[in-house]
């Protein structure tokens, strides 16, 4: 039974008319009727009740219709994947990431990817989390990387890296001499926070609230880089992912202290528009990104 016959049957079931189906496929009504008869003979059951006007599917016909739709959808998906595979060499992969992930976490993944796919142009841009969701949903980027990912029925969301959260302060701050610090020690401290519409801000606020901690926000910024600069000039302390401050720790411009209460983390995630079809290169890049989170499980 050919794909085209399944396509004709599905159109007949949806249009409920031999004449309209014949017109759509540029065939005669007799040809449509003959193809239906061949299918019924092969399946040994009646698919359509011809006595009804408009025509109706029998129970067997309804079952066959659903199965045919599934086959046609999978066939189209397979064709799309094959076309994507043929275009994978010399293609472009568009990625949008929040600044901290794009600057400090993503580069190692891109390097590993380029070893296997040197001809693929990996284009990375930095945006706010809100903008990344918009770009992924509109199809303007292939993959989004965000902190504290939110669920959306229009998206496939995958875990990425769990980033350790640490207390960050100037090297001359009284807490800088501690190897570990109880989170209650930051009560009423001058605090440099993320802006309120940044997902990481809500995440850190929930931690402070859980421990009944009140801090004194003196500055609010929408990115980690500016927060680091504020800490370096002694404007206050902050809580940040350790992965984003490795360079400053190495140069000694700021100090990071682990919390003794528990291992606080900031979850990050990979977002892809639901139904997105990747070529071979895109699938490999997704495998690289997801490998770390699977190791953490």
CATH code for position 292: 3.40.190.10
Domain containing residue 165: 161-266
Q: Please check whether residues 124 and 71 belong to one and the same domain.
A: no
pLDDT tens, residue by residue, 1-26: 588 889 999 999 999 999 999 998 88
Number of domains making up the chain: 3
Shared domain for 39 and 184, answered yes or no, is no
Specify the pairing of strand 255-259 against strand 180-181: parallel
pLDDT in tens, 187-229: 999 999 999 999 999 999 999 999 999 999 999 999 999 999 9
- pLDDT the model gives residue 89: 46
Average pLDDT of every residue of the chain: 91
pTM above 0.75, yes or no: no
Residues 238 and 165 in one domain: yes
Does the pLDDT of residue 88 top 70, yes or no? Answer: no
What pLDDT shows up at residue 169?
97
Phi then psi for residue 153, to 5 deg, are -65, -15
- Same domain assignment for residues 278 and 258: no
Residue 192 dihedral angles phi and psi, to the nearest 5°: -100, 115
Whether the pLDDT of residue 150 is over 80: the answer is yes
Give bridge partners of residue 125 from the DSSP assignment.
Answer: 96
Domain closes at, from 66, 86, 106 = 86
Residue 234 dihedral angles phi and psi, to the nearest 5°: 65, 30
Instruction: Give the per-residue SS3 of the chain.
Output: CCHHHHHHHHHHHHHCCHHHHHHHCCCCHHHHHHHHHHHHHHHCCCCEECCCCCCEECHHHHHHHHHHHHHHHHHHHHHHHHHHHHCCCCCEEEEEECHHHHHHCHHHHHHHHHHHCCCCEEEEEECCHHHHHHHHHHCCCCEEEEECCCCCCCEEEEEEEEEEEEEEECCCCHHHHCCEECHHHHCCCEEEEECCCCHHHHHHHHHHHHCCCCCEEEEEECCHHHHHHHHHCCCCEEEEEHHHCHHHHHHCCCEEEEECCCCCEEEEEEEEECCCCCCHHHHHHHHHHHHHHHHHC
Q: How confident is the model at residue 45 (pLDDT cuts 50, 70, 90)?
A: very high
Please, is 245 exposed, middle or buried when counting C-beta atoms within 10 Å of its C-beta (0-12, 13-18, 19+)?
A: buried
Q: Inform me whether the pLDDT recorded for 43 exceeds 60.
A: yes
pLDDT tens track for 248-297: 999 999 999 999 999 999 999 999 999 888 888 899 999 999 986 555 55
Domain shared by 197 and 230, yes or no: yes
- Mean pLDDT of the region 154-168: 95
Q: Could you tell me if 286 and 262 lie in one domain?
A: no
pLDDT at 50: 84
């Amino acid at each position: 039974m050919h794909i085209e016959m399944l396509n004709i049957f599905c159109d007949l079931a949806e249009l409920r008319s031999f004449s309209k189906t014949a017109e759509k496929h540029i065939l005669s009504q007799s040809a449509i009727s003959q193809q239906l008869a061949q299918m019924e003979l092969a399946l040994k059951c009646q698919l359509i009740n011809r006595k009804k006007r408009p025509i109706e599917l029998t129970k067997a016909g309804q079952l066959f219709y659903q199965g045919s739709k599934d086959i046609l959808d999978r066939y189209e998906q397979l064709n799309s994947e094959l076309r994507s595979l043929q275009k994978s060499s010399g293609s472009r992969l568009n990625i949008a990431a929040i600044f901290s992930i794009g600057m400090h976490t993503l580069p190692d993944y891109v390097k590993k990817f380029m070893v296997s796919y040197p001809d693929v142009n990996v284009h990375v841009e930095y945006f706010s989390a809100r903008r990344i969701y918009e770009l992924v949903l509109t199809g303007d980027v292939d993959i989004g990387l965000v902190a504290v990912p939110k669920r959306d029925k229009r998206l496939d969301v995958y875990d990425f890296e769990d980033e350790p959260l640490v207390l960050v302060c100037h090297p001359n701050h009284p807490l800088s001499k501690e190897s570990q610090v109880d989170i209650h020690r930051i009560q009423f401290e001058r605090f440099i926070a993320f802006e309120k519409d940044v997902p990481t801000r809500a995440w850190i606020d929930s931690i402070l609230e859980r421990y009944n901690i009140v801090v004194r926000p003196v500055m609010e910024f929408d990115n980690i880089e500016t927060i680091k600069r504020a800490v370096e000039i002694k404007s206050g302390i902050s809580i940040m992912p350790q992965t984003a401050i490795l360079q400053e720790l190495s140069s000694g411009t700021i100090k990071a202290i682990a919390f003794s209460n528990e291992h606080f983390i900031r979850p990050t995630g990979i977002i892809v528009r639901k139904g997105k079809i990747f070529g071979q290169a895109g699938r490999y890049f997704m495998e690289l990104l997801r490998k770390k989170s699977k190791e953490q499980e």
